[in-house]
Copies of this chain bind each other. A is one copy, B any other.
Amino acid sequence: MNSQKSNVTRLPAAVLKKSCIDVFTAVGVPAADAEVIAETLVLTDMRGIHSHGVIRSARYIDCIKAGGIKPAAELQILNDSPCAVRTSAAGGLGIPAASKAVEIAMARAERHGVAVVTVNHSDHYGAAGIYAMRCADRGLVGMSMSNTCPLVAPAGGAKATIGNNPFSYAAPGGKYRAILFDICMSVVASGKLIIAAAEGRKIPKDWILDAEGNPTDDPNEIWHDAIMLPFAAHKGYGFAVMVELLSAVLAGSGITEDVKSWNLVPGRDADTGHCFIVIDPEFFGGLDEFKKRTDLLIDRLVATPPAAGVDRVRYPGEIEFGREADAEKNGVPLPDSSVGELRRAAEMTGVKLDF
């Protein structure tokens, strides 16, 4: 372990989790909540989504220290029907709130076949796919989505007036673990722009607009309030609106500009919203049958002859599951930026790290 390889450090998941638990409990997060945050952030890094892993720990703590997030808030039930539940995170951390909400959704779906649970007055909930995969690992079909502060221009627009709203679904397989899909609404994630900038490359003109709303092929605009464009124009725009309808309009959380950026204004209540839709295949012909049929679907997809220059066709989630298995075996590979933010979280909270 601990071997350094091109700016990546491998650390045991247990060590990382303990570090996360320590920094969050140090700022007043209840032990059970700190544990679920640790589990979530580390698993996200294990799946290779480093932008949403332990790198976020320091910023969550910035928000707690600035008063924008209440560390010990408890999830409140606002409307409670057997399979339709509206909750509030009461200004608390997004990850524990979302974890409790999806737990309710799974339990209700197992009893009634389907359940929808919304969360309002929440904050950044990490990687959307974490919650969808909890469903799949429990034999359920899960959808997970959240709105964000405005980051993306509507199709035809020249200003960021809607969030880069993440959407994920997952479904269980048999010989294959699951199908997992987890995306945001922009053409590319900001990480790709940062890489292009570092390599001095131009980018296609349909990726971003500059801060004034003009087309640009310069990835460095990411450092100057660039506006993200939605994937496939009106299609990405329409999916962003769907997430806003379910996570904000239905949930009762901030709509578009009423969601505050936890990155830019850590002391402000973000009022982010989430929505979870869970379906139990036992009510539709049985889980065993469902898993077999998911396997058949995957078998057929991966058997597709590959296009020129492609080794083989993959199913959604295959890459993430491969990384997770590798991290379990060889330790969690962390970029320097992730290690740095975890160290900053430790410094802020007076925690001594075991690495």
Query: Which A residues lie at the B interface, using CB under 8 A?
Result: 78-79, 81-84, 86, 112-116, 118, 141, 153-159, 161-162, 169, 171, 179, 181, 183, 187, 209, 213-215, 231-232, 234-239, 241-242, 244-246, 248-252, 255-257, 277, 279-281, 283-285, 289-290, 293-294, 296-297, 300-301, 303-308, 310, 312-316
Cβ-defined contact, B83 with A297, below 8 A:
no
Given A83-B112, A290-B250, A300-B161, is A277 in contact with B277 using a C-beta cutoff of 8 Å? yes
Contacts of A169 in B (CB 8 A): 242, 245
List the B side residues contacting A315 at CB < 8 Å: 241
B297 near A241 with CB under 8 A, answer yes
Contact indicator B256/A156 (Cβ below 8 Å): no
Chain B nearest CB from A150 CB (Å) reads: 9
Chain B's nearest CB lies how many Å from the CB of A288?
A: 13
Q: In the bound complex, do residue B232 and residue A236 qualify as a contact, i.e. CB atoms below 8 Å apart?
A: yes
Q: Could you write out 25 A-B pairs with CB less than 8 Å apart?
A: A78-B285, A79-B283, A81-B283, A82-B113, A84-B114, A114-B116, A154-B304, A157-B310, A158-B306, A158-B307, A161-B303, A179-B241, A181-B238, A231-B232, A231-B235, A232-B236, A235-B236, A238-B316, A241-B315, A248-B297, A249-B293, A249-B294, A249-B297, A250-B281, A256-B300
- Sorted nearest first, the 9 A-B pairs with minimum C-beta distance are A84-B113, A157-B304, A181-B238, A84-B283, A231-B232, A156-B310, A249-B293, A158-B307, A161-B304
The residue that A209 contacts in the complex, of B157, B237, B303, B307, with Cβ under 8 A, is B307
Number of identical monomers bound together in the oligomeric complex: 2
Measured in the bound complex, the distance between the Cα atoms of B297 and A252 in whole Å is: 12
Give every chain B residue within 8 A of A301 (Cβ-Cβ): 154, 157, 161-162, 241, 256
Asked if residues A245 and B183 are in contact (CB atoms below 8 Å), the reply is no
Q: Please judge, given known A-B contacts A141-B246, A161-B301, A231-B231, whether A156 and B238 are in contact too, CB under 8 Å.
A: no
Q: Which residue of B lies closest to A251 (CB)?
A: B284
Q: Which residue of B lies closest to A185 (CB)?
A: B235
Chain B residues with CB below 8 A from A157, complex form: 301, 304-307, 310, 313
CA–CA, A305 and B257, complex, Å = 15
Closest residue on chain B to residue A115 by CB atoms: B114
Q: Is the CB of B293 within 8 A of A255?
A: yes
With A156-B306, A241-B315 in contact, is A255–B86 under 8 Å at CB? no
Question: Which residues of B sit under 8 angstroms from A214, Cβ to Cβ?
Answer: 308
